[in-house]
């Protein structure tokens, strides 16, 4: 009896050891929740980073465009004032006009001989930077721009003494000539373009 009892205890001890060994030897199944959480968190961080980069790039582009505008607009105004200053110095001699602007002043309607298309001459596709470089009068006192601003002067209307200009009532006591000045300026980037105009009237 004692021998059988001892054998039974021995077998029980072996089974306990075997179970203990199997319990520690076999790893428990992992669900992968931590890995999924990390991947989702990483994806969120990536989206936030890309969005932040896009916002920064957009702000830099906006700042660059504003900087170019702040350079192009004063450049165009400088050319406009140069054209007005040139006209101020002409009296008592009436500026000589020409159909090609070679005299410094374009004759009336020479800039846009075809008025049936309903467009102003500066809206035509052929009025490009190359056209301005060939036909415009440039000033050379503006810095930090891709090219110097230019201007063109065209005779807009001539009103002789005793005639009405068609605005309001009454007639002019002396002849007056109306000129239209169109100036173009660019910024540090040549694609940033500003055009300004003024109508200049003077008696001769």
φ, ψ at 37 (rounded to 5°): -60, -45
In a domain, 10, yes or no: no
In a domain, 196, yes or no: yes
Number of domains in the chain: 1
Which of 165 and 63 is assigned the larger pLDDT? 63
In a domain, 77, yes or no: yes
In a domain, 199, yes or no: yes
In this prediction, residue 138 carries a pLDDT of 94
Whether residue 172 is predicted with pLDDT greater than 80 in this model: the reply is no
The chain-wide mean pLDDT, for the chain, equals 81
pLDDT band at 16 (very low <50, low <70, confident <90, very high): low
In this prediction, residue 11 carries a pLDDT of 66
Q: What number is the average pLDDT over the span 13-37? A: 62
In a domain, 19, yes or no: no
73 CB burial (10 A radius; 0-12, 13-18, 19+): middle
What are the residues whose beta carbons fall under 8 Å from the beta carbon of 23, sequence distance 6 or more? none
pLDDT > 90: percent of the chain: 34
Q: What number is the average pLDDT over the span 178-193? A: 93
Q: What number is the average pLDDT over the span 114-136? A: 82
Q: What number is the average pLDDT over the span 150-168? A: 75
d(CA 151, CA 56): 37
What are the residues whose beta carbons fall under 8 Å from the beta carbon of 102, sequence distance 6 or more? none
In a domain, 3, yes or no: no
In a domain, 108, yes or no: yes
Domain of 158?
A: 33-203
In a domain, 6, yes or no: no
Q: 23-37, 58-72, 77-91, 179-193: lowest mean pLDDT where?
A: 23-37
Q: Which residues pair with 181 in a beta bridge?
A: 153, 198
Q: Nearest CA to 145 among 81, 72, 78, 73?
A: 72
pLDDT band at 119 (very low <50, low <70, confident <90, very high): confident
Strand, helix or coil for residue 198: strand
Tell me the pTM. 0.67
pLDDT > 70: percent of the chain: 75
Token pair 């021995």 is at which residue?
Answer: 10
């Amino acid at each position: 009896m004692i021998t059988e009892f001892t054998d039974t205890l021995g077998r029980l001890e072996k089974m306990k050891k075997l179970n203990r060994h199997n319990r520690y030897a076999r790893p428990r199944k992992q669900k992968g929740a931590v890995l999924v959480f990390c991947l989702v968190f990483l994806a969120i961080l990536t989206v936030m980073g890309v969005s932040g980069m896009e916002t920064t790039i957009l702000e830099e582009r906006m700042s660059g465009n504003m900087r170019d505008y702040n350079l192009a607009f004063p450049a165009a105004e400088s050319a406009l004032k140069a054209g007005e200053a040139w006209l101020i110095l002409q009296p008592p001699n009436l500026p000589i006009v020409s159909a090609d602007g070679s005299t410094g002043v374009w004759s009336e309607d020479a800039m846009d001989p075809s008025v049936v298309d309903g467009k102003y001459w500066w809206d035509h596709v052929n009025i490009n930077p190359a056209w301005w470089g060939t036909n415009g009068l440039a000033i050379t006192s503006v810095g930090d721009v891709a090219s110097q601003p230019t201007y063109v002067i065209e005779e807009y209307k001539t009103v002789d003494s005793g005639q009405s200009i068609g605005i309001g009532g009454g007639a002019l006591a002396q002849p007056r000539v109306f000129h239209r000045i169109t100036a173009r300026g660019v910024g540090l980037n040549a694609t940033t373009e500003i055009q300004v105009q003024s109508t200049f009237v003077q008696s001769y």
